Structure 1
Amino acid sequence: MIDETPNSLPSTPATRFPWPPVLFALAIAAAWLLTVFAPIPWPGLDDKAGHWVGVAFGVFGLLLIVSGFATLARHRTTYLPHKASTKLVTSGPFIRFRNPIYLGEVMLLLYGAEITKSVWFVAAALLFGLLVTVLQIIPEEQHLEAVFGEEYLAYKARSRRWI
């Protein structure tokens, strides 16, 4: 389902800075640098089951990101987090998750923890999730509620912010 902005009124974006890609890049860089210069031993077992769970996180995360961008592109609305939303997209991965791209990025960071055996990538995933929620998701939700009103509230009631 896709809905145009009511009355095609121009709206201001939720944020004016592209927090998610910047935070994601910083999370990867910080986790990698800490892994190299201040390693913490991996507390988990080095077993095949754990490895495949980590790989599944990476595959599912990548699928969420790609399908999220593809769905937004297919509906000709912005995928840039610092641009105003013109359509409420509730199809594709957005049926279940309100933020599939950000969720996919968290999952890729957790996959990074598995492939590097670094606790720092787990910490980076948690910090990224917290910061992207505060700096992007909450303002984005307020923006979508202001633009789409009851329709967004109905969508919000049947979908999850994260999982």
Structure 2
Amino acid sequence: MNAYRAKPLRYPWPPMLYLTSILTAMLAGRIAQLPPIPSPFPFVLPSLGFAIAMLAVTLDIWAVRTLMQRQTAVLDSGCARYLVTCGPFRFSRNPIYLGYTLFTMALGLISGNSWFFIAAILSVTATRVIAIPSEERHLEARFGFDYETYRKRTRRWI
């Protein structure tokens, strides 16, 4: 297989999957509310949610900046020019998806809408099934042994 032709995805699915899940959770929260998350103090969960949201946004910005500095594709539909193993990619093979997931869960804590946690689980599952296998095939075809070594030493999520 030609590694340059083995693009990971034709369409950047993960951002759309997470956006769709967030919008669906918002709609579901209006139609059929789930029991709220219990908290001893009303400000604790929203404050925790804001902290997690800041962490998620920081992680995403760090990951995108690292990819741009290494002059490789940020969107899943582009061909990777370099195998990036520094920055947040030292700790996670998918730090951007991890950031999306954390942000979705943070919205649940901020809003008190439990549907966001269900949305996060569904988004992780859909990303795991739709996007990650083709991305990993692309990286394996493109970088071979180097990617195998990276994959063995770095966890997929955290």
TM-score by length of 1: 0.89
Tell me, yes or no, if structure 1 residue 156 matches structure 2 residue 145. Answer: no
- Report the Cα distance in structure 2 between the residues aligned to 1:46 and 1:75, rounded to whole angstroms: 46
SS of residue paired to 2:68:
helix
Q: Aligned-pair distance for 1:102?
A: 0.4
Decide whether aligned partners of structure 1 residues 131 and 139 sit closer, same or farther in structure 2, where only a CA change above 3 A counts. same
Q: Kindly indicate whether the alpha-carbon contact (under 8 Å) linking 1:34 and 1:120 is maintained by their aligned counterparts in 2.
A: yes
Superposition misfits of 4+ residues, deviation over 2 angstroms: 8-12, 46-56
Tell me, yes or no, if structure 1 residue 85 matches structure 2 residue 80. Answer: yes
- Report the Cα distance in structure 2 between the residues aligned to 1:118 and 1:129, rounded to whole angstroms: 18
Match of 1:108 among 98, 103, 109: 103
| Alignment deviations for residues 56-114 of structure 1 (CA, whole Å, 9 cap, x no partner) | 32121111110011011111111011122121001110011100000000000010001
- Report the Cα distance in structure 2 between the residues aligned to 1:46 and 1:23, rounded to whole angstroms: 33
Decide whether aligned partners of structure 1 residues 120 and 149 sit closer, same or farther in structure 2, where only a CA change above 3 A counts. same
Q: Which ranges of structure 1 fall in alignment gaps of 5 or more residues?
A: 1-7
Paired residue type of 2:12 = P
1:1-163 map, 5 Å:
10-47=4-41, 48-163=43-158
Q: Kindly indicate whether the alpha-carbon contact (under 8 Å) linking 1:11 and 1:147 is maintained by their aligned counterparts in 2.
A: no
Give the CA RMSD over aligned residues. 1.7
Q: Aligned-pair distance for 1:51?
A: 4.0
For 1:4, the equivalent position in structure 2 comes to none
- Report the Cα distance in structure 2 between the residues aligned to 1:82 and 1:9, rounded to whole angstroms: 14
Q: Which ranges of structure 2 fall in alignment gaps of 5 or more residues?
A: none
For 1:5, the equivalent position in structure 2 comes to none
Q: Aligned-pair distance for 1:155?
A: 0.7
Over the matched positions of the two proteins, sequence identity in percent amounts to 35
Decide whether aligned partners of structure 1 residues 116 and 140 sit closer, same or farther in structure 2, where only a CA change above 3 A counts. same
- Report the Cα distance in structure 1 between the residues aligned to 2:138 and 2:4, rounded to whole angstroms: 12
TM-score by length of 2: 0.91
